Amino acid sequence: MTVHKKASIMIFHDELCQVFNGLMTALSLQRAGAEVTVFFGSRGINAVHKEKIKELKCLPDQPEAEQQKVMARMEQMNLPMPEDMLLMLHMEGARLLACPLNKNVFEFRDDDFVEGVVLADPETYYTDIVMLADMNLVF
């Protein structure tokens, strides 16, 4: 018997390690057969901006040397970057949603978003996605 699960993942931070963890979780759930929706709100919307995604920092509250050490280790481990994981999620059928309110607050244009990202519908996002999900994870 196949059990179909729905996963709602919300990313509200633009710190690289948080974004990485949220996207890796989404990708793992997607590949395990779950129907995945990833919502980017608050500062997390920077993770789906074509230019700002390149500026995300891991451990921004730590000294520069510690940040560089972690980034070098991630590179040595050949871990995918958020840009790669977003493309994988999009190509594998996950829904990638950006908060329309934060789009306006941060003055993003529609063409600022990476491929596959669309604006969430405030009328239905919570009722049709969050409330129906078997799991809601927040990063």
Domain limits at 104?
Answer: 6-14+27-138
- Which residue(s) pair with 118 in the sheet? 97
DSSP of 62-76, one letter per residue? S-HHHHHHHHHHHHH
The domain tally of the chain equals 1
Tell me, yes or no, whether 114 lies in a domain: yes
- Position 102 in a domain: yes
In this predicted structure, the answer to whether residue 101 has a pLDDT above a threshold of 60 is yes
Tell me, what CATH number does 72's domain have?
A: 3.40.1260.10
20 located within any domain: no
Report yes or no on 107 lying in a domain: yes
Question: How much is the pTM?
Answer: 0.92
Is residue 117 a part of any domain in this protein? yes
Which backbone phi and psi does 38 adopt, to 5 degrees?
-115, 125
Domain annotation covers residue 106: yes
**How does pLDDT run across 19-68, given as a tens digit for each residue?**
999 999 999 999 999 999 999 999 999 999 999 999 999 998 999 999 99
Helices (H), the chain: 16-31, 64-76, 82-91, 100-105
- Whether residue 1 lies inside any domain: the answer is no
Report the C-alpha gap between 97 and 40 in whole angstroms: 6
In a domain, 21, yes or no: no
Ramachandran class of 107: left when φ > 0, alpha when ψ lies in -120 to 50, beta otherwise: left
